[in-house]
Amino acid sequence: MVNFETSPERYNHWKLNVDGAVATLSMDVKEDETLGDGYKLKLNSYDLGVDIELADAVQRLRFEHPEVRVVVITSLKPRIFCAGANIYMLGTSPHAFKVNFCKFTNETRCAIEDASHHSGQKYIAAINGTASGGGYELAIACDEIYLVDDGNSAVSLPEVPLLGVLPGTGGLTRLVDKRKVRRDRADVFSTLAEGLKAKRAKDWGLIDDFFPTSKFEESIVARVEKLVEANGQKNASAGIKLNPLQVEASEAGREYKYVSLKYNRDKRYADLTVRAPEENLPQALEEIEKLGDSYWPLQAYRELDDALLNLRVNELEIGLVCIRTEGDIDNVLAVDETLARNRDHWLVREILLNMARCLRRLDLTAKSFFALLEPGSCFVGNLLELALSADRTYMLNNADEKVEIAVSELNAGAFPMSNGLTRLQSHFLAEPEKVEEVLSHKDRFDTEEAEAVGLVTFAPDDLDWEDEVRVAIEERTSLSPDALTGMEASLRFAGPETLDTKIYGRLTAWQNWIFQRPNAVGPQGALTNYGKPTQPQFDYKRT
């Protein structure tokens, strides 16, 4: 059972130091503190446990240290920055774990970029030793990359020549899309196991600059000072503490304050319920800051995020998640109004950004999602995004027990998908005029109105509801999980392609395939034979 909760005092592999506007994240991986058995984390290589700590640090810097303007990522190991994902861990892990590991590390690196773009926390990679594979991919997620010129240190993406797989956390995409490295140079770099050292790495655009060992630290300090001065002190307020989530975990599911996850393992589906906030939540910023991480939109979405991660990694045979909501519609809309009115305040901004990241986590989760809109539901405003994220929505049509949905100002752009569109824009891609029609609708939609405008998939009446939902669940869970994962990933992100959709769609699809090919993981495969006296043997037919 993988636990995604941690905190700085529990870190095994990272040291977080905050000094005014500058934070330093130092990597110092403990070889024996592994998440699994059968490997050691040598040379600052990482497994999922190392990246869980990194993701936590990135999140905490945004909420607990809004005063930070620059984050420096570096290493405490001599002559090594990071050797990337641990190869022996990858070679011995089940296929599903490998794919979920790559997806989580992708999301962590996207969170770094999100913090830079939206929170004004610029990231510098101070590469004081060799950075290979995922180590360079971590660096390339930063805004700027500086390499020590010691005659030995290099940057590399050796996955293709050494392991027969791909750089799993967006390296290829960021090379050409983010850093705009020429395609021919990127081709050479990605097939050169030893990588490139300082001068050529800079000439080719793989790093921003390099400094000799004797001047490396002072040069990094000088660059940080310039960035701090240029970035300004945007957040003067003190941060809030992110306390551990309170969850009751059992064989039957996971119970949080606002989220309930119940497993139906014999039928291969789960029920996920999100509860609305209490009434009379504060509207004044001072009171919201006092509530801190217990403020509903922050606590509920942190709980939802944790539930999604546990579904991904710990519940592999659950293929379908039925999403429900419970509570007072007015309370949800009141919270949305408060958030929209105060969205320029640093804490409200970070809460909205966190909600958006959690919703994208749902979009990118390899499970089917059905939203069930029943009496007592509150799929309105930010919680309507859960229904819009679902692969299908079922809304009960019952004259005696009215079911309603509604939009808020937040549905107009606070929660962009990976494709850069809102979920309403993605939903109505063929009918863009309906987006404005829905957003300008001041009243709630009942079932017939929601079906007429196209907000829901099906609207069974009370006589057919139970049978139709039951049959839909049984049909979905009887289909091939592999086919469903590919189908859903293809259908969820219509419209423009972005760096994120390339990473999660194209890369994940190809990595998923390559991780199962004999050339990588077969008895004579490169990943299987890494570190052994035997050489890989490839099937040279191209497909």
The pLDDT score that the predictor gives to residue 280 is 87
Residue 52 has pLDDT above 80, yes or no: yes
Tens-digit pLDDT profile for residues 421-476: 999 999 999 999 999 999 999 899 999 999 999 999 999 999 999 999 999 999 99
Within a 10 A sphere around the Cβ of 80, how many other Cβ atoms?
Answer: 22
Q: Are residues 63 and 20 part of one domain?
A: yes
- Do 141 and 174 contact (CB within 8 A), yes or no? yes
Q: What share of the chain is helix, strand, coil (3-state, %, to 5)?
A: 45, 15, 35
**269 located within any domain:** yes
Residue ending a domain, among 468, 485, 502, is 485
Q: Are residues 199 and 132 part of one domain?
A: yes
State the chain's mean pLDDT as an integer.
95
Distance CA 66, CA 45 (A): 29
Tens-digit pLDDT profile for residues 192-202: 999 999 999 99
Distance CA 383, CA 328 (A): 12
Tens-digit pLDDT profile for residues 351-389: 999 999 999 999 999 999 999 999 999 999 999 999 999
The pLDDT score that the predictor gives to residue 510 is 80
Residue 138 CA: distances (Å) to CA of 105, 109, 166, 211? 9, 7, 15, 20
Residue ending a domain, among 170, 198, 231, is 231
- Run of H or E residues at 94: none
Tens-digit pLDDT profile for residues 211-244: 999 999 999 999 999 999 988 766 567 899 999 9
**542 located within any domain:** no
Half-sphere exposure of 513 (CA within 13 A, CB side): 8
Distance CA 366, CA 482 (A): 9
Q: Are residues 311 and 457 part of one domain?
A: yes
**75 located within any domain:** yes
DSSP H helical ranges for 143-205 = 171-173, 183-190, 198-203
**54 located within any domain:** yes
> For residue 470, is it left (φ>0), alpha (ψ between -120 and 50) or beta?
alpha
**161 located within any domain:** yes
- Do 536 and 519 contact (CB within 8 A), yes or no? yes
Q: Are residues 306 and 412 part of one domain?
A: yes
**CATH number of the domain to which 55 belongs:** 3.90.226.10
Range of the domain at 109: 8-231
| Pairing of the two strands 368-373 and 320-326 | parallel
**Residues 6 or more apart in contact with residue 439 via CB below 8 angstroms:** 407, 411, 412, 424
Half-sphere exposure of 111 (CA within 13 A, CB side): 25
Which DSSP category does 397 fall into? B
Q: Which residues pair with 80 in a beta bridge?
A: 130
